[in-house]
Chains A and B, each alone.
Chain A
Amino acid sequence: MMTSTTVRTSEAVLREESPQRGPGRARRRRTPVTWVRGGGLSTLVIALPLLLVFGLFSWFPIVRAVVMSFQFTNLVTPAEWVGLENFTYVLSDPLLTTAVRNTLWFALLALVLGYPVPLVAAVLMSEVRRMRGLYAALAYLPVVVPPVVAVLLWKTFYSASETGVFNTIAGWFGLGPFPWLQDQAWAMPSLVLEATWAAAGGTVIIYLAALTGVAPELYDAAEVDGAGVWRKVWHVTMPQLRGVLFVTFILQIIGTAQVFTEPYLFTGGGPANSTTTVLLMIYNYAFGGRGDYGAATALSLLLALVLAVLSAVYFKLTSRWSS
């Protein structure tokens, strides 16, 4: 027996309220009364708190940042309009090249190390039949640890002395001692290692959820065709996860482009600017010395612009593949 719904669809409402709509009929004029009757007022009332909160805490700071990027201000003395000077200043800052290079290096390392790890972990976990929940919980545990606590913990592990935790472990295998954070070449990979450990759990959960959506019949069919584990992963799992993989990829790029916590807490951008990222540079403009909020907001906007363009291009390029 078919059930009928009492919930009116928007089209139904529209049809009822526009009986004369159609060729040869005069279009009914929209008035405030029809707007209220059509549910406009209640929609607005429901949306208003959300709009206010968003306006105050999300949109207003963005607008304020745009305004400040054209000003010279220290938040106390009258702000001075300086046109594009902040933008030319940050673009001519010799540290910007270093910061962009470091950010790209972090992004690349995080991609190479951090992108496949959760995927492999999720696929392996999905294959395990017993205690899958325990493994998922263990993988997610680092995400629960507050980032500052995690970094301070790892900072101790990264002690460059022979008695440091990681160096002691390396010593068991006749390796090290390694300088970890105390060397310009080692510092960034050390940061990426911790960042991967800290963030992988969240992505594992996303992949695990996506994997449950893969129809078991596909695996059965593949098995019937004689596919092994590797071929099942490559020909069934990966194509089925394609949409999620694209999204996590761009999220990872955006996330790594905005990396701040690790370089700020581990190294302060050192040694010798080898871990200074774009976001750390923005922070230092604003809070490192003089409080140059104009330069900080200018660079923030430039970063946002680059990421927006990157995201748009990425989705344009991949829309065909992911659909």
Chain B
Amino acid sequence: MKSSRRKTALVLVGALTVSALAACSSSDDDGGLTPAEASAAADEPVTIQVAIDEGLEQGAIDAFDTRIAEFEKENPNITVERQEYTWVGTTFAADLAGGTLPDVFTVPFTDGRGLIERQQVADISGLVAELPYADGFNPNIAAAGQSTDGTQWAIPIAAYGQAIHYNRGIFTEAGLDPDDPPSTWDEVRAAARTISEKTDATGFAEMTKSNTGGWILTTLTYAMGGRAETVDGDTTTATIDTPEYREALEYLHDLRWEDDSMGDEFLYDWATSHADFGAGKIGMFVSGGGDYGNLATQNAMNPDDYGVTVLPLQGDDGAVLGGGTLAAVNAKATDAEQAAAVKWIDFYYMSKLTDEDAAVADAQATADQGQPVGVPILPVFDQETEDARRGWISDLTNVPLDQFAPYSEHVVDQPLEAEPPIATQDLYAALDPVVQAVLTDENADVDALLADAQANVQNLIDRG
């Protein structure tokens, strides 16, 4: 009896193991579509799911449905179904494996390279190469959606450079001129000290949690002339233990411990820092230049208080870390679905950047929802195309453009640099505790922290 039970148990375990192995080994061997394959796939009847922002009002959903109807009229073999979607990095792989991701979705620049590196998005480079504007992308922005061999796996649909956001009301209260924001790191430090001394607000806040600490530290390092990685052929070397990273950390250390300008919250992540900035608790902080929409609509920021300026750049190599949004295609999409998905990206996301009617229709729908229209972005293509787009929607623009001027008038002249290409999020994650250590321990050993972080990041890069 006992041996029979054991046999049954072994059979059960064996069967489960075999099914687990079968589940593990099933996957697509997609190597990207050739133009011939794409052409063959183009006429097949196909249905695709496309992402639509979560929680939109009925008017916006109706406007989206109108665009779908227009698209389906142009492409009678394609049926488009909308699916509510918000990018969540933590559950992305499970959604992908479980088949619950739409065929077309958007991801931030920060995650694009990692997804491409791990082949978690479809290789649509062959299809992208066929688009009429394929060669016209701003190269530094296109890099966010490229694999290491330079092919375009995801399409940039919006771009910005990192910026310093500041509260004009707090600047005024502290006796600072909101129309003349700081333009050097020393001026930023002085303004932060003044705000902390003369108001109840935090002079300069720093994100430190959920990989944002590494992201912002790297932003400062880029601005001070450093870089996070060097790529030489197949070899990637972390460049964390460098004078530029050290300078950025010492800068934060001085703001925190010498000036006491950084308040009492040192565990900010993206959401909480934006919430506190929107609530008027923060004088200045560094984040993406395109964050106004979130601040105004989700964090109730008073538009009159909003100000944004460019990052001060130091030395010959000082550069602005770029950010933005990519449109990508589900790695599990069939050839026909991939072809249809790229057509949808071209129709829905790209036409509003290049076509007047589409740009105006999109701006009208956005304005009708009470959402910000006309937030300055970096040119996804060239400045001329971007200027034309801004002209088309100028009558519908509802954001205080004058308050964006310190950023929008200068960012185009700043060298834009793509994020570290390999293990981007892992690199940022490894730097979070370094920033936190400096902000919570006055005697933190910066040299030791950087040496450890260098070893950690190199280990992660080498693990592949």
Contacts and interface: CB of A to CB of B under 8 A. Distances in A.
A77 B27 contact: yes
Contacts of B437: 184, 271-272
Contact of B426 (A71, A95, A289, A293): A289
Contact of A268 (B21, B25, B269): B269
Interface in B294-328: none
Contact of B25 (A60, A79, A273, A289): A79
Contact of B436 (A63, A74, A270, A293): A270
A292 to B, nearest CB: 8
A271 B439 contact: yes
Most buried by B among A68, A272, A284: A272
B93 A291 contact: yes
B118 A290 contact: yes
Contacts of B211: 288-289
A290 B423 contact: yes
A91 B35 CA distance: 47
Contacts of B401: none
Contacts of A79: 24-25, 27
Contacts of B426: 288-290
Contacts of B206: none
A273 B437 CA distance: 9
Interface in B421-452: 423, 425-426, 428-429, 432-434, 436-437, 439-441, 444, 452
Nearest to A164: B264
Contacts of A293: 93
Given A271-B437, A272-B433, A290 B264 contact: no
Contact of B264 (A75, A76, A182, A184): A182
Contact of B118 (A77, A269, A270): A77
Interface stretch (B12-20, B45-53, B353-361, B404-412): B12-20
A179 interface: yes
Given A74-B93, A75-B96, A272-B441, A182 B265 contact: yes
Interface string A89-109: 100001100000000000000
Interface in A277-304: 284, 287-293
Interface string A72-91: 01111111000000000100
A17 B273 CA distance: 75
Contacts of B332: 76
A17 B417 CA distance: 83
B267 A76 contact: no
A55 interface: yes
Contact of A179 (B208, B264, B423): B264
B114 interface: yes
Contacts of B440: 179, 182-184, 271-272
B199 interface: no
Nearest to A295: B463
Interface string A145-173: 00000000000000111000000000000
A203 interface: no
A267 B455 CA distance: 24
B90 interface: yes
Interface in B336-378: none
A293 B91 CA distance: 12
Contact of A76 (B120, B210, B423, B444): B120
Most buried by A among B21, B432, B440: B440
A284 B433 CA distance: 13
A125 interface: no
B202 to A, nearest CB: 10
A191 interface: no
Interface string B11-44: 0110011011101110101000000000000000
A273 B96 contact: no
Contacts of A76: 27, 93, 96-97, 118-120, 331-332
A229 to B, nearest CB: 45
Contact of B16 (A63, A89, A160): A63
B239 interface: no
Contact of A284 (B12, B92, B429): B429
B400 to A, nearest CB: 30
Most buried by A among B21, B92, B114, B436: B436
The 6 closest A-B pairs by CB, nearest first: A272-B437, A289-B425, A75-B97, A287-B90, A160-B264, A271-B436
29 contacts: A60-B20, A67-B20, A67-B24, A74-B93, A74-B120, A75-B93, A75-B96, A79-B27, A94-B455, A94-B456, A95-B456, A159-B264, A182-B264, A182-B440, A267-B267, A270-B208, A270-B266, A270-B432, A271-B208, A271-B266, A271-B436, A271-B437, A273-B436, A288-B425, A288-B426, A288-B429, A289-B428, A290-B114, A290-B425
Given A63-B13, A77-B119, A289-B211, 9 more contacts: A64-B23, A74-B93, A268-B210, A271-B437, A271-B440, A272-B434, A287-B89, A289-B428, A290-B460
